[in-house]
Structure 1
Amino acid sequence: MGARTGAGPMADGGIGAAYDAVAELYADLFRGELARKEAELAAIRQLVAGPAVAVRGLPVGDLGCGPGEATALLAGLGVRAFGLDLSAGMLAQARRDRPRLPFLRGTLAALPLADGSLGAILARYSLIHLSPPELPGALAELHRVLAPGGLLLTGFFAADPALGDTDRPTPFDHKVATAHRWPVDTLAALLRQAGFTENARTLRPPLPGERFPQATLLCAA
Structure 2
Amino acid sequence: MGDHIRHGAVRRSYDTVAEEYTKRLHDELAGKPLDRALLAALLEQTEPGTALADLGCGPGHIAAHLASAGTGAEARDPVHTVGIDLSEGMLETGRNRYPGVEFRNGDLLALPAGDGEFGAAVALYSFIHLSADELPTALAEARRVLRPGGLLLLAFHIGEETRHLDEWWGHEVDVDFHFHDPVRVGELLEAAGFAVQMRMERRHYAHEADTRRAYLLARRA
TM-score (norm 2): 0.86
Equivalent residue, structure 2, for 1:205? 203
| 1:66 has 2:64 as partner | no
| 1:30 has 2:25 as partner | yes
User: Aligned AA for 1:205?
Assistant: R
**Is the Cα contact below 8 Å between 2:199 and 2:215 reproduced in 1?**
yes
In structure 1, what is the Cα distance between the partners aligned to 2:212 and 2:68? Answer: 28
**3-state SS of paired residue (1:123):** strand
User: Aligned AA for 2:59?
Assistant: P
List per-residue Cα deviations over 1:137-176 (Å, max 9, x = no partner). 01100011110000000111112xxxxxxxxx32123556
List per-residue Cα deviations over 1:102-131 (Å, max 9, x = no partner). 111111111111111110001111111111
Deviating runs (4+, > 4 A) in structure 1? none
User: Aligned AA for 2:68?
Assistant: G
| 1:220 has 2:209 as partner | no
**3-state SS of paired residue (1:14):** helix
The structure carrying a bigger helix percent of its residues is 2
TM-score (norm 1): 0.86
**Is the Cα contact below 8 Å between 2:104 and 2:112 reproduced in 1?**
no
In structure 1, what is the Cα distance between the partners aligned to 2:60 and 2:30? Answer: 13
Q: Which runs of 5+ in 2 are unaligned?
A: 71-78
Equivalent residue, structure 2, for 1:39? 34
User: Aligned AA for 1:217?
Assistant: L
Aligned sequence identity (%): 41
**3-state SS of paired residue (1:152):** strand
Q: Which runs of 5+ in 1 are unaligned?
A: 1-9, 160-168
After TM superposition, the structure 1 = structure 2 runs for residues 108-123 of structure 1, keeping only pairs within 5 Å, are: 108-123=108-123
Equivalent residue, structure 2, for 1:75? 67
User: Aligned AA for 1:206?
Assistant: H
In structure 2, what is the Cα distance between the partners aligned to 1:197 and 1:100? Answer: 31
The structure carrying a bigger strand percent of its residues is 2
What RMSD in Å do the two structures reach over aligned CA positions?
1.5
User: Aligned AA for 1:154?
Assistant: L
How many pairs align? 200
